Amino acid sequence: MSSFVMHETAAINPGSTILVTGINGLIASHIADQLLAAGYNVRGTVRNLEKCAWMPSFFANRHTSTNVTFKVVKVADMSLDGCFDDAVHSCAGVIHTTSSNEMQASSPEPTITNTVKTVMTCLESAAKEPSVQRFVLTSSAWAVSAPRPDTKFTVSPKDWNDQAIQDAYATGTPASNGMSIFMAGKTMAEKECWRFMRERRPAFVFNAVLPDTTFGAVLSPEHQGIPSTAGLIRMLFDGQGLDILQWVQPQYFIDTADCARLHVAALVHPDAKDERLLGHAEPWNWNDVLAMFRKWFPDRDFPEDMQLGRDISTVETGKSLELLRDVYGQEGWTSLEESVKGNVASFLHSNTQAQMALFGQY
């Protein structure tokens, strides 16, 4: 496991308090874990305090060797002006991982406007707080490009998925539904952040992390279940929802821990300024995952391979890998196999010892 090495030269000193929004989410919980391990105090926002009451003791037990604090605060409605004002007070940094967005919306509005609003409320609150030195946004790989299987093209931090915006507002056509609206919301929300930074010029540094499909271990399956895209691996393992899974086109992935570390690197690396950091580890499709399942569990029946293409795009991740190397001493990305292994172990944590023996450290 990579460990934090940028202590003395970090842009934000360990011991500072960092706000992480949507702290109970798949990615955000890993970000909190990495921050606490690096010696930062974490304040996390949630919509429901009761449902997240498990988190303080969970992280306290995981980080007994560092003198850090973890606190959960409530922000019930992210669309309200000033809703993050209290949460961001006295924080040195903000990592905003959550927004209001829908993958199955049938109309672009009010979905896209709501998505943008729930990002901007946090950015506005941070701009009013003089203690904030850095702000990191969790954007999406789909804010640069949609998957295009079997097509050679290059993905760059300079790219924008403007096609998704056109498709989302092409009302009355199939392209206007579901994923186009989701991608358009992510694209427009990030664009609005950069516009805000150019025009308002707040005192802090702004960076965006753009992860592709996120697989990997879940920190607390007992409390979190198998959420978000990690749940897709479980669906395939159980042979459920295949009609839904076949709509997930071949694309890149990133491991949960790598994704978290990239956010922390964007927060603390002194040379990370005005960056769009692509989180693309390696391309995959469902047949790759099925092959792993069959290798690990030869006596179990799994679905047949699907008719799928491959993602053959080239992605410019040099800056992301440079930051991970400088901040964590990490060379390269966690592999798809290791990430899927951690993902599977998360939902087999209470299963037989024979199955768990396959997953050692997990």
- Say which CATH number the domain at 341 has: 3.40.50.720
pLDDT at 65: 80
Of the pLDDT bands very low, low, confident and very high (cuts 50, 70, 90), residue 101 is low
Q: Does residue 4 belong to any structural domain of this protein? A: no
* Mean local confidence (pLDDT), 131-143: 98
Residue 122: which residues within 8 A CB-CB, separation 6 or more? 21, 78, 84, 88, 94, 96
Residue 216, pLDDT above cutoff 80: yes
Q: Does residue 307 belong to any structural domain of this protein? A: yes
CB atoms within 10 A of CB 311: 23
pLDDT at 155: 98
Residue 188, pLDDT above cutoff 70: yes
**72-83, pLDDT tens digit by residue?**
999 999 999 999
Q: Does residue 262 belong to any structural domain of this protein? A: yes
- Are β-strands 93-96 and 154-155 bridged in parallel, bridged antiparallel, or unpaired? unpaired
pLDDT at 351: 57
Would you say 223 and 58 are in contact if contact means Cβ atoms under 8 Å apart? Answer: yes
- In percent, the amount of the chain with pLDDT more than 90 equals 87
Mean pLDDT of the chain: 93
Lowest mean pLDDT, pick from 53-57, 111-115, 244-248? 244-248
Give which of 268, 277, 290, 298 is closest to 336, Cα–Cα: 290
Give which of 216, 229, 227 is closest to 335, Cα–Cα: 216
Residue 354, pLDDT above cutoff 70: no
* Mean local confidence (pLDDT), 131-145: 98
Q: Does residue 160 belong to any structural domain of this protein? A: yes
Q: Does residue 82 belong to any structural domain of this protein? A: yes
Q: Does residue 270 belong to any structural domain of this protein? A: yes
**241-293, pLDDT tens digit by residue?**
998 898 899 999 999 999 999 999 999 999 999 999 999 999 999 999 999 99
Output 66 or 137, whichever has higher pLDDT. 137
* Mean local confidence (pLDDT), 334-345: 96
pLDDT at 362: 47
Q: Does residue 9 belong to any structural domain of this protein? A: no
Output 54 or 353, whichever has higher pLDDT. 54
Structure tokens of 253?
């992935």
As a whole number of angstroms, the distance between CA 347 and CA 311 comes to 27
> H/E element holding 43?
strand 41-46
pLDDT at 2: 81
Lowest mean pLDDT, pick from 166-175, 188-197, 314-323? 166-175
* Mean local confidence (pLDDT), 310-337: 98
pLDDT at 107: 86
Number of structural domains found in the chain: 1
Of the pLDDT bands very low, low, confident and very high (cuts 50, 70, 90), residue 173 is low
Q: Which long-range contacts (CB under 8 A, 24 or more apart) does 47-53 make?
A: 47/74, 47/75, 47/76, 48/74, 48/76, 49/74, 51/24, 52/23, 52/24
> Can you say whether residue 44 is alpha, beta or left, with left for phi > 0 and alpha for psi between -120 and 50 degrees?
beta
As a whole number of angstroms, the distance between CA 299 and CA 284 comes to 24
- In percent, the amount of the chain with pLDDT more than 70 equals 93
Domain range for 97: 17-359
Lowest mean pLDDT, pick from 18-22, 90-94, 166-170, 278-282? 166-170
As a whole number of angstroms, the distance between CA 82 and CA 74 comes to 13
Q: Report if pTM > 0.75.
A: yes
Q: Backbone phi, then psi, for 113, in 5-degree steps? A: -60, -40
Q: CA-CA distances (angstroms) from residue 346 to 74, 171, 237, 256, 286? A: 27, 41, 12, 12, 19
Q: Does residue 8 belong to any structural domain of this protein? A: no
